[in-house]
């Protein structure tokens, strides 16, 4: 896997740079270095502490492990809202993963794009090529995928610098107090269970900004901005505030309320995505309306308020 070191990783350790580019752990990249399977501008890397420079070519051979493969397959309800030579923006329904993974047999964004004839950047692990952000399977809304190497690097730098606007609407149980605020709490795996996360001191820095925009009986509609983009971030932070997302049984939602609303997933939708277009340098913004199941649940909550 050959990648161009982006400006945002200039001066970083090669194991850290490799982990951020590929999405693998630093230990995995370190193992590849020890095995002589990492090269920088054609020269074999011998120390994980070696520093990289922007513009260098970092070649990391695939580890000997099973990986998921992209199998072209259209995903029902997935819409391509913008397509050009550099990027593709999709509106993802719930029940569709961002990319294939071992153990997941359902549809995914990359499989849909492949079936639709949309090529993506050959950057990142084989099962995540072109992916610069992800949405949970149960979260609907907007995602951007890079189609070229320069676009991939440019978008990665934007996400890393927290300059991408990621706006969500979320419905939580109860009324947050204060009605608006910031949750600055690190997130890590919960007790070794890979599919669940929690606030923990040794986790990765995670910052969520929220504002209540509507109160209902026993619930509130929030506007949520993500400063960082950790797995399950909004879900974990809302649970930490003791206001889990309605319908989110994994993170403490009331199953009786979820059943009454007909929700089989968390009430969370990525409504706006704004970034600097990597080819034009212009600011672009895309909007999405919540899906029918979320709209219906919100209407039921309003009826009893």
What is the distance between the alpha carbons of residues 282 and 275, in angstroms, rounded to a whole number?
8
Q: Which residues pair with 226 in a beta bridge?
A: 208
Q: Edge-to-edge strand order for the sheet containing 2-4?
A: 2-4, 57-60, 38-40, 43-44
183 touches 191 (CB < 8 A): no
For residue 4, give Cα distances in angstroms to 190, 215, 228.
34, 48, 23
Other Cβ atoms less than 10 A from the Cβ of 60: the count is 25
269 touches 294 (CB < 8 A): yes
Angle between helices 14-22 and 26-34 (to 10 degrees): 120
The widest CA-to-CA distance across the chain, in whole angstroms, is 67
**Cβ burial 247-275 (10 Å sphere, 16+ → b, else e):** bbebbebbeebbeebebebbbbbbbbbeb
In this structure, is the dihedral angle defined by the CA atoms of residues 45, 47, 48 and 50, taken in order, positive or negative? negative
Please state the φ and ψ torsions of residue 300, each to the nearest 5 degrees: -65, -40
Q: Which residues pair with 189 in a beta bridge?
A: 197
What is the distance between the alpha carbons of residues 40 and 293, in angstroms, rounded to a whole number?
49
- For the annotated catalytic residues, the residue numbers are 136
What is the distance between the alpha carbons of residues 225 and 168, in angstroms, rounded to a whole number?
6
How far from chain centre, in Å, is Cα 127? 15
Other Cβ atoms less than 10 A from the Cβ of 204: the count is 13
């Amino acid at each position: 896997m050959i990648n161009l070191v982006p400006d945002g990783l200039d001066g970083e350790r090669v194991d850290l740079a490799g982990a951020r580019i590929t999405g693998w752990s630093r230990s995995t990249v370190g193992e590849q270095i020890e095995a002589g399977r990492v090269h920088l501008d054609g020269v074999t890397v011998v120390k994980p502490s070696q520093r990289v420079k922007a513009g260098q070519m970092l070649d990391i051979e695939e580890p000997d492990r099973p990986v998921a493969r992209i199998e072209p397959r259209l995903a029902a309800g997935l819409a391509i809202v913008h397509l050009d030579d550099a990027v593709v923006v999709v509106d993802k329904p719930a029940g569709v993963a961002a990319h294939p993974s071992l153990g997941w047999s359902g549809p995914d964004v990359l499989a849909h794009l492949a079936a639709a004839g949309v090529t993506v950047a050959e950057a990142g692990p084989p099962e995540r090529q072109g992916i610069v952000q992800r949405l949970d399977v149960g979260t609907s809304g907007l995602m951007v995928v890079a189609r070229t190497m320069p676009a991939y690097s440019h978008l990665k730098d934007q996400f890393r610098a927290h300059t991408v606007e990621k706006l969500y609407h979320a419905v939580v149980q109860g009324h947050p107090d204060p009605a608006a605020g910031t949750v600055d709490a690190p997130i890590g795996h919960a007790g070794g269970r890979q599919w669940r996360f929690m606030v923990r001191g040794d986790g990765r820095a995670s910052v969520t900004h929220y504002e209540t925009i509507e109160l209902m009986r026993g619930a509130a509609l929030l506007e949520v901005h993500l400063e960082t983009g950790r797995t399950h971030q909004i879900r974990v932070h809302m649970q930490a505030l003791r206001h889990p997302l309605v319908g989110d049984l994994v993170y403490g939602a009331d199953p009786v309320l979820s059943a009454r609303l007909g929700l089989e997933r968390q009430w969370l939708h990525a409504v706006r995505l704004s970034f600097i277009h990597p080819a034009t340098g212009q600011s672009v913004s895309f909007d999405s309306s919540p899906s029918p199941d979320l709209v219906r649940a919100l209407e039921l909550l309003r009826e009893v308020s």
